[in-house]
Amino acid sequence: MTVGEPAPSPLLDYEPQWQQTLQWQPTPEQQTLFQRVYEAILQGNQQMNLTRLTDPDTFWEKHLWDSLSGLAPWLTSIGAPAWATARATARVIDIGTGAGFPGLPAAIAFESWQITLLDATQKKVRFLTESAESIGLKNVRAIADRAEFLAHQPSHREQYDLALLRAVGPVPTCLEYALPLVKVGGVAVLYRGQWSDEDSRNTAAVAQQLGGKLLSVASSQTPLTQGVRHCVYVGKHTLTNEDFPRLPGIPAKLPLTPQN
Ligand code: SAH
C-alpha cells in the first residue's frame, strides 16, 4: 500500500462456511497467508489488471473458496474417492494461473505440495514470483511460458500428479494443455460453471484421445452467493501421443472434437 491509502479490510475467517462445505478449516497461520495473498493482489492491481474481484467477501468466495473447492477430494480423507489417494508430496501445475488461482490457495492449504504456476504473460509471472517470496510461500515457483511449449519439454512432460485449470478456455483446449503434463495415474482438475450430460460425454471422448478418462464431476454451490460450480476430474491412464499439444494457438483455435 502506498502511504496515505486506507488499509484493505481484513478477510473474515468464514470458519463455518469452510467447515460445512469442505469439512476443512484453515489454521491461524494459513488464515494469515490468505490475508497476505489478498493484500499482495490489491497492491499488484495498482500496477496491472489482475482481478476485478477485490471486495473481501467476493475475494474469499470467488478466489479462495472456489480454488479449494476443486481440491475437496484431497482436503479431507473422509469420503474421498479411491482415485484421490493422499499425495503427501504431489507435484502440481496450475495452467493459466493469472493472478495465482487456484494455485496460490492450493500452496497454502497443502504445504507439502510443490506448486508450479504457469502463465503465458511475463508480467503476471513476475508479480507471482515476487509475491510468493514476500508472502513466504516456499513451495511455489512461477514459470512464464505457453502450455503448448512447456508440455513438450522432457523436464515437464508427464511430470505432474495434478494439473489445475480455471477459466482458461473450452474443455477440449484445457485437456490438450493439461493431459500431456500429467503423469500416468495423475489427475487433471477442470473448474467449470454450468455442466450438462452432453459435456460429460464430449469430455470423455476428447480425454480418451489424450490418454485420459473422465473420473467424476462434482457439483457445488458457492457458499455466499449460491453460484453454480462443477469440478471435473479427468484421470491420466496412458501416455499422451507426442503430437499433443499441437502448435501454440491451435488447441484454442481448433479444439479437439469427440470425432477426431
Ligand atoms: N486461472 C486464473 C486466471 C484465468 S485468465 C483464474 O481463474 O483466476 C486465463 C489465463 O490463462 C491468462 O492469465 C492467460 O495469460 C493464461 N493463458 C491462456 N492461454 C495460455 C496458454 N496456452 N499457456 C499458458 N497460459 C495461458
Q: Which ligand 1 atom is nearest residue 119's CA?
A: 25
pLDDT value at residue 260: 66
pLDDT value at residue 6: 55
Find out whether 47 and 56 touch, Cβ atoms under 8 Å: no
* Element holding 184 (H helix, E strand): strand 182-192
Q: How far is the CA of 170 from the centre of ligand 1 (A)?
A: 12
Task: Please give the model's pTM, rounded to 2 decimal places.
Answer: 0.96
Residue in 199, 188, 180 with CA at minimum distance from that of residue 238: 180
Residues with CB under 6 Å of ligand 1 are 96-99, 101, 118-121, 124, 146-148, 166-168, 177
Task: Tell me the pLDDT band of 5, cut-offs 50, 70 and 90.
Answer: low
> Average pLDDT in the 48-65 region?
92
pLDDT digits (tens, 9 = 90+) for 15-36: 899 999 999 999 999 999 999 9
Q: Which ligand 1 atom is nearest residue 165's CA?
A: 1
pLDDT digits (tens, 9 = 90+) for 164-178: 999 999 999 999 999
pLDDT, averaged across the chain: 94
Q: Which ligand 1 atom is nearest residue 145's CA?
A: 24
Q: How far is the CA of 95 from the centre of ligand 1 (A)?
A: 7
pLDDT value at residue 51: 87
Q: Is the pLDDT of residue 1 over 50?
A: no
Give phi and psi for 34, each to the nearest 5.
Answer: -60, -45
Q: How far is the CA of 235 from the centre of ligand 1 (A)?
A: 22
Residue in 255, 89, 244 with CA at minimum distance from that of residue 160: 89
pLDDT value at residue 131: 97
Q: How far is the CA of 94 from the centre of ligand 1 (A)?
A: 9
Percent of residues, the chain, with pLDDT higher than 90: 85
Q: How far is the CA of 78 from the centre of ligand 1 (A)?
A: 32
Closest CA to ligand 1's atom 21: 146
Q: Is the pLDDT of residue 2 over 70?
A: no
Find out whether 166 and 64 touch, Cβ atoms under 8 Å: no
Segments in the chain forming alpha helices (H): 15-22, 28-44, 56-58, 66-69, 72-75, 103-109, 122-135, 147-150, 171-178, 197-209, 250-253
Give the pairing of strands 160-166 and 91-95. Answer: parallel
CA gap 127, 111 in Å, rounded: 21
CA gap 171, 101 in Å, rounded: 17
Find out whether 64 and 73 touch, Cβ atoms under 8 Å: no
- Give the amino acid at 173: T
Q: Is the pLDDT of residue 13 over 90?
A: no
Ligand 1 mutation target, pool 41, 61, 168, 189, most atoms within 8 A of CB: 168
Give the pairing of strands 212-221 and 140-144. Answer: unpaired
> Average pLDDT in the 203-214 region?
98
Residue 128: all three cell numbers together? 507471482
pLDDT value at residue 218: 96
Q: Is the pLDDT of residue 48 over 70?
A: yes
> Average pLDDT in the 64-76 region?
95
pLDDT digits (tens, 9 = 90+) for 102-156: 999 999 999 999 999 999 999 999 999 999 999 999 999 999 999 999 999 999 9
Q: How far is the CA of 98 from the centre of ligand 1 (A)?
A: 5
- Which positions ≥6 away from 70 have C-beta within 8 Å? 102, 164, 166, 189, 191, 231
Task: Tell me the pLDDT band of 4, cut-offs 50, 70 and 90.
Answer: very low
Closest CA to ligand 1's atom 13: 98
